[in-house]
Structure 1
Amino acid sequence: MEPKTNRPIRRALVSVYDKTGLEALALAFADAGTEVVSTGSTARKLRELGVRVTEVAQVTGFPESLGGRVKTLDPHIHAGILADMTDAKQSEELRGLGIEPYDMVVVNLYPFTNTVRAGASEADIIEKIDIGGPAMVRAAAKNSASVAVITDPEDYRLAAQRIESGRGLTLEERRWLASKAFATTAAYDAAIAEWTGGHWTRPNSVDDACGNEETTGQAQTGPSAAQVEPTGSSPSPQPNNSEQPDGQTFPHTFTHTWQRTRVLRYGENPHQRACLYADTLDRNGFAHAEQLHGKPMSYNNYVDADAAWRAVWDFAPGIAVAVCKHNNPCGVAVGDSVAQAHLKAHRCDPMSAYGGVIAANSTVTLEMAQNVRPIFTEVIVAPDYEPEALRLLEAKKKNLRILRVPRRPNTATQFRQIDGGLLVQSTDRIDAPGDDPANWQLVSGEAADETTMRDLAFAWRAIRCVKSNAILLAHDQATVGIGMGQVNRVDSCHLAVERANTLDDGRDRARGSVAASDAFFPFADGAEALIDAGVRAIVQPGGSIRDQEVIDAAQAHGTTMYLTHTRHFFH
């Protein structure tokens, strides 16, 4: 005996943009003699598949109009979807109106995100904002007591089985499908809100007429945070004070949508579950990387490779390579060629590079591939590969994950989940006034010569990708020692010096190098540790109440020191 919650599918409404997989439903409809009501191109497709179809216009008594903008927005359709047939009063009222109920609604929506990703015009994008489809989906999902709603072609097989058997779907099944349907419309509207928020921003005329409502906490319609360009940094290491009200930069409601693209074997550890979601309005970002070879990517592979990918683009248009491990660089370098940059980056810390990730911001050449071949590497990511380089890596490194990403990172906003909420900030880039060496303040020693200044500028760019507290030693536009992630800055200084002097056959690489610090020295001891190791020049933000003590220590040794008045914390 069937459960009482089952409702056979005697009448169905079908309106789908994507006709993929419709054959399974058509066969079930035809075999079961299900009455099918449909729209335009869907009706034609179903007839081709042998289904007897009633056009929506025959039900509504009103033709499709306004170029297809109005098809199903009619009480004769929506009353049939929304009537709760388990309620005797609603059932009787529907009969009195002469309207037949629907047992199933099958809808998929206009391809809004695909249209955006294809670079379509604004007018074409607007036409792909579905109105009738979401209305039908939400109506059917609300009325899951009576109606089964199908929005995912993956569920056509289930629907077909239930139609052919005459059993229909249980209430639990209808509710599950309704939950999927609400998720579909929520993601659809979020994508539209994100796109419109990035393109239809608050005009100055609103501020002129009404004032800045954002500052009072009232509702507003600012751009989606995911679309906002960075607002820049203040000239000192203080909190960012944008000229825009915060409400215009970060709207009161954060809307964004991602689509699951890959289930991963596990997360950071084997007992954690994980998957990859990709931005629905983007098709060229790192999350959409094309994997050309190797084992499937893991959670940790994605984290490390994304960090390396961001690091190398801080040096564009220069040719740069970064080697990363556990979300930290173990070597970064700029070179005249990508092969040279890789050798310099690898030389910084060959031990840590074992099992690491390599990123290049230039096409990987055969020469670089030959250098990479003997090194155990988990992932390599680049904009492209010479055919000979790709063939060599594929032939000699069976498990190496080879990724191709055609576009540099351009995410304008970063966020981090905390328990019960989300932290959102503009992406840290090398674009603040203090990132330009021309704006640096010389506070000790002689002005750096051209070679020293080039290395200082390199070190300052490289420090952005190092976890705080961060100290980086560089020579010849390559890292030679990195101290990262320590809970006090002096430990990071000692670690950077130790690595510089122990990881390349014991050579004293600290002597004659330059140093960068991602934030100020709270005491003179950190700077003194670098100076005692032979560092010839230091660049740091400044801003400590003990700045003068640090400067005095540098002056006592004649060490060149610059203040940037910009910091690059990376937690």
Structure 2
Amino acid sequence: MPAAPDFPPAPNAVAPARALISLSDKTGLEQVARTLHDLGVELVSTGGTKSAIAGFGLPVKDVADLTGFPEMMDGRVKTLHPIVHGGLLGVRNAPTHAAAMSEHNIGAIDIVWIDLYPFEKTVESGGGFEAAIENIDIGGPAMIRSGSKNHGHVAVAVDAESIGMIVEALKADGSTSLDLRKQLAARAFARTAAYDAAVSAWFAGQLQDIAPARKSIAGELAQTLRYGENPHQTGSFYRTGEKRPGVAYAEQVQGKELGYNNIADADAAYELVAEFAEPACVIVKHANPCGVAVGKDLSEAYARALECDAVSAFGGVIAVNRPLNEADAKAITEIFTEVVIAPGADDAAKAVFAAKKNLRLLITDGLPNPHAEGNVFRSVAGGFLVQSRDRSNLKASDLKVVTKRQPTEKEIEDMLFAFTVAKHVKSNAIVYAKDGQTAGIGAGQMNRRDSARIAAIRAKEAGEAKGLDVSLAEGSACASEAFFPFADGLLEAVAAGATCVIQPGGSMRDEEVIKAADEKGIAMVFTGVRVFRH
């Protein structure tokens, strides 16, 4: 480990004399370059950036004029030179550094503005392997890291906001402060870390390495939250760069600032509603769906979802899989709702929502593909867990009938609907469903029997609220997202009114559970797939 040198304290104010600029995205370049020139800062650049600055009619020096070496090897080698890195790393007020800079004619570089080759955009746009490799920036990260390490003297910008901070400081008093340069250095190191994380993740994907020896997660701050799950906890929201339609890239049309729990619930709701091809509505409360239904249109789907558990739906999050119209908005705003997330909303719908000032309306650029590849993460003390997204997509042909009674086509349809919902319910999960509508949901219990009982209570209350003499679960399909370890949970489902059961199977007591189903005269199918959600 290198010993820390005894450098003099860094100056607070640094009046820059030279700036090195190299940009892939040249948006805003002319204004900044003119401002720096007008402030007496010499401009140094390479390639297309140098040509652009010269095209603005501004004097600009080529890096090759500093180093004495031309750009070579298709641009791979141009800034990797002691003249450049010495100008960035040299501690100006350290006698030995100053002497070396003088001896080797190394001029100080006081500002670095670099945005890196567009590797992430190249991959996102479907560029091939060689295109991606050529867009891995080497010199850019090296200069950013050099300047950031020497933040006592160098101001580094890696984005428009950073260079804006520098320009504003120079306009104010002609210098950058040490505090500002520290802030910029932190942002710059975070950018190069995220860039390297993107490259390493892409390379692992190219090699189909699902468990690389090192894995990095990089995010860009989307929002500083008022608090986390509770007011005494801090919270922040980051985007990872995965272009998956949903809450991360949604447009917030109106309403209060999203909170930590709002974001988590909106994500859970939108991921579930995307599972359905028909117009569908999902109502989520505290990370679990309390009502899910399909209908001929969104208004009908919402009304049917609300029927399942109107009590829990109060203050919930609503997700739909079609653009909202005025009638949909009027129906949804009849009760207090925290968040509505949808792929679209017409002007009439937005006008209705606007009357509810606190309601957050989120509009996305589409629906997430529930069967697309991807990873999900969870933190633990000292580490994090990574798993692939649950992409299961059961069809009738995947089901194995294990009882004497065969299910009807209608029961198969109900079972598949219930199992799809159960995939998004925290375990232990039991879902009763009928006719494209949940009847009762039991979530997050320590045993499956209690989940079946809670779901039955919800279904009974829903039936009463609808004015029925029977539970909403009467004649329903029961889905269990993991196997029944005992027959007691299945018997609770039968008592609730279920006529068929769908479950993964695989318990040591499968035969006992099958026997109980046969004795009760119900149909049961095994999926062979568990959709447990811890």
| Structures share fold, TM-score greater than 0.5 | yes
- Which of 430, 435, 456 pairs up with 2:392? 430
- TM-score of the aligned structures, taking structure 2 as reference length: 0.87
| Structure 1 pair 107–285 and aligned structure 2 pair: CA distance change class (3 A) | same
Give, in whole Å, the separation in 2 of the partners of 1:156 and 1:287.
26
| Structure 1 pair 4–57 and aligned structure 2 pair: CA distance change class (3 A) | closer
1:280-311 deviation digits (Å, cap 9, x = unpaired): 25274441012233333222111111111111
- Which of 142, 152, 176 pairs up with 2:149? 142
Count of aligned pairs between the two proteins: 517
Moved more, 405-414 or 114-123: 114-123
| Structure 1 pair 463–49 and aligned structure 2 pair: CA distance change class (3 A) | same
- Which of 440, 447, 455 pairs up with 2:406? 447
Give the structure 1 partner of residue 361 of structure 2: 402
| Structure 1 pair 104–338 and aligned structure 2 pair: CA distance change class (3 A) | closer
Tell whether 2:480 aligns with 1:473. Answer: no
| Structure 1 pair 196–561 and aligned structure 2 pair: CA distance change class (3 A) | same
Contact 1:22 1:156 in 2 (8 A): no
Tell whether 2:444 aligns with 1:485. Answer: yes
* Per-residue deviation, 1:560: 1.7
Contact 1:377 1:400 in 2 (8 A): yes
Give, in whole Å, the separation in 2 of the partners of 1:447 and 1:358.
36
Give the structure 2 partner of residue 244 of structure 1: none
Structure 2 letter corresponding to 1:477 = G
* Per-residue deviation, 1:259: 0.8
Tell whether 2:512 aligns with 1:549. Answer: yes
Contact 1:57 1:63 in 2 (8 A): yes
Tell whether 2:470 aligns with 1:464. Answer: no
Give the structure 2 partner of residue 231 of structure 1: none
Structure 1 letter corresponding to 2:90 = A
Give, in whole Å, the separation in 2 of the partners of 1:263 and 1:173.
20
Task: Give the 3-state SS of the residue equivalent to 1:76 in structure 2.
Answer: helix
| Structure 1 pair 58–461 and aligned structure 2 pair: CA distance change class (3 A) | same
* Per-residue deviation, 1:109: 2.4
Give the structure 2 partner of residue 321 of structure 1: 281
Task: Give the 3-state SS of the residue equivalent to 1:72 in structure 2.
Answer: coil
Tell whether 2:179 aligns with 1:179. Answer: no
Give, in whole Å, the separation in 1 of the partners of 2:387 and 2:82.
46
- Which of 453, 460, 472 pairs up with 1:501? 460
Give, in whole Å, the separation in 1 of the partners of 2:172 and 2:263.
45
1:311-358 deviation digits (Å, cap 9, x = unpaired): 11223x233221111111111112233332222111111111111111
Give the structure 2 partner of residue 307 of structure 1: 268
* Per-residue deviation, 1:408: 2.7
Give, in whole Å, the separation in 2 of the partners of 1:529 and 1:90.
79
Equivalent residues in 2 for 1:211-250 (5 A)?
A: 223=208, 248-250=209-211
Give, in whole Å, the separation in 1 of the partners of 2:451 and 2:195.
47
Contact 1:21 1:156 in 2 (8 A): no
Contact 1:149 1:174 in 2 (8 A): yes
* Per-residue deviation, 1:551: 2.0
Contact 1:28 1:163 in 2 (8 A): no
Task: Give the 3-state SS of the residue equivalent to 1:444 in structure 2.
Answer: coil
* Per-residue deviation, 1:260: 0.8
Tell whether 2:523 aligns with 1:560. Answer: yes
Give, in whole Å, the separation in 2 of the partners of 1:158 and 1:382.
36
Give, in whole Å, the separation in 2 of the partners of 1:142 and 1:148.
10
Give, in whole Å, the separation in 1 of the partners of 2:346 and 2:101.
68
Give the structure 1 partner of residue 5 of structure 2: none
Give the structure 2 partner of residue 205 of structure 1: none
1:245-280 deviation digits (Å, cap 9, x = unpaired): xxx222222133221122222222222222221122
* Per-residue deviation, 1:122: 6.3
Tell whether 2:495 aligns with 1:535. Answer: no
Give the structure 2 partner of residue 336 of structure 1: 296
Structure 2 letter corresponding to 1:318 = E
* Per-residue deviation, 1:390: 3.7
Task: Give the 3-state SS of the residue equivalent to 1:336 in structure 2.
Answer: coil
Give the structure 1 partner of residue 485 of structure 2: 522
Contact 1:519 1:569 in 2 (8 A): yes
Give, in whole Å, the separation in 2 of the partners of 1:19 and 1:363.
34
| Structure 1 pair 164–307 and aligned structure 2 pair: CA distance change class (3 A) | closer
Contact 2:10 2:153 in 1 (8 A): no
Task: Give the 3-state SS of the residue equivalent to 1:523 in structure 2.
Answer: coil
Task: Give the 3-state SS of the residue equivalent to 2:376 in structure 1.
Answer: strand
Give the structure 2 partner of residue 416 of structure 1: 378
- Which of 463, 474, 477 pairs up with 1:511? 474
Contact 1:455 1:474 in 2 (8 A): yes
* Per-residue deviation, 1:15: 1.0
Give the structure 2 partner of residue 282 of structure 1: 243
Contact 1:361 1:383 in 2 (8 A): yes
1:168-197 deviation digits (Å, cap 9, x = unpaired): 544x65444333322221112222333344
Structure 1 gaps of 5+ residues are 203-222, 224-247
Give, in whole Å, the separation in 2 of the partners of 1:89 and 1:3.
15
* Per-residue deviation, 1:46: 5.7
Give the structure 2 partner of residue 20 of structure 1: 28
Tell whether 2:88 aligns with 1:81. Answer: yes
Give, in whole Å, the separation in 2 of the partners of 1:5 and 1:28.
21
Structure 2 letter corresponding to 1:325 = K
Identical positions, percent: 40
Contact 2:504 2:526 in 1 (8 A): yes
Give, in whole Å, the separation in 1 of the partners of 2:15 and 2:145.
19
Contact 1:141 1:181 in 2 (8 A): yes
Equivalent residues in 2 for 1:15-54 (5 A)?
A: 15-17=21-23, 18=26, 20=28, 23=31, 26-27=34-35, 30-31=38-39, 33-40=40-47, 42-43=49-50, 52-54=59-61
Contact 1:9 1:163 in 2 (8 A): no
Contact 2:247 2:362 in 1 (8 A): no
Q: For the aligned residues, what is the CA RMSD?
A: 3.0
Task: Give the 3-state SS of the residue equivalent to 1:306 in structure 2.
Answer: helix
Task: Give the 3-state SS of the residue equivalent to 1:389 in structure 2.
Answer: helix
Give, in whole Å, the separation in 2 of the partners of 1:522 and 1:482.
19
Give the structure 1 partner of residue 253 of structure 2: 292
- TM-score of the aligned structures, taking structure 1 as reference length: 0.81
Structure 2 gaps of 5+ residues are 1-7
Give the structure 1 partner of residue 4 of structure 2: none
Give, in whole Å, the separation in 1 of the partners of 2:374 and 2:315.
30
Give, in whole Å, the separation in 2 of the partners of 1:531 and 1:456.
14
| Structure 1 pair 154–403 and aligned structure 2 pair: CA distance change class (3 A) | closer
* Per-residue deviation, 1:528: 1.5
